[in-house]
Amino acid sequence: MRNVFLMVLVNFTTVLVHPLYGGEQAPAKPQPDAAIVQLLTTLADDFCRADTKGVASLFTADADFLSADGTRIRGRNAIEKAFGEMMAAGPKRTVKFHLVEARRIANDAAMVDAIVQTTPPRSPDHTPSITLTLVREAGKWLIASAHETIDVIPAPAAHLQELAGLVGQWEGQSSAAAGGTTKSTCDWTANHSFLIRKFTTSGKDGRSLAGTEVIGWDPRNGRIRSWVFDSTGGFGENLWLHDGKRWIIQHTGTTADGGHAAATHIVTPVDGNTLSVQTRDRTINGEQEPASPAITIKRSSAKKPAAKAPSATPGLPAPTP
């Protein structure tokens, strides 16, 4: 049972992630205008509902849209028509905007750079980005111009941007009763296609184990997944789901003695360098285990995700979410 406890503790603390909404910047940078973030959220929601009137209403009457293939569309009515034709002709897609930077250029004007995540992706090897010029009319931000480009960014890198805050070193300790401690380091692989975590965990009885977690994008199912392997021979898989500002992480695994483990981890941000992690619905071989008390995870290194979008060249800075 001690190995089972350690396996559960490992999976209880392998979800050390800095949960951010798609457009939030690194902690050291100022937050973008909430109204600008809401504009991107509304644009994505209207697109996902195939609400062409809603999409068009977010543009100015004389807006200019330049697509990645060089097609230029002028005016709100033409934009509504073009989006309607595209949605009718192509497969149904969902879209999400990952804010790279939002900057004011005047009191009532702003520039926004974002990476566009579509599911299913428009291209298996490239990810579109968009630059928006916003103007404020009657107190409301509207898109005056949009310029879409196709960047040479591996698609997985765009999907993993929300987890860029995980890069660095982390330490955590559970309740005095459990007595568990954990340390981990995380960094990008080449091209930012995966994140790899190395961790060590110890129980109050002095037993410890080490392990590796590989976090990646599952293009077939359109989800973030991670795979965990520990030094006793146990292994498991996590499915990551967003719930507001929290991550709900569903775990299934195999313990070193062949048992089946399952749990749900809930990760909630406290501040830019602190997380609260709670585990519930924990079972071992189908038998319900008590819910674990929340633990606090803190960043122990100064390394933060860089503010630039990734490039196809390995070693360049990782994007901020």
Instruction: State the DSSP string of 135-182.
Output: EEETTEEEEEEEEEEEE---HHHHHTGGGGGG-EEEEEE--TTT--EE
Per cent of the chain over pLDDT 90 is 31
Among 170-184, 206-220, 247-261, which stretch is predicted with the lowest mean pLDDT? 170-184
Computed over every residue of the chain, the mean pLDDT equals 78
For 277-288, what is the mean pLDDT?
87
Model confidence pTM above 0.85: no
Cis-peptide, bond into residue 120, ω within 30° of zero? yes
Domains (range + CATH), the chain = 2-21+159-299 (2.40.128.20), 34-153 (3.10.450.50)
One-letter amino acid identity for 46?
D
Q: What is the pLDDT of residue 313?
A: 25
Residues 186 and 269: their CA atoms lie apart, in Å, by 18
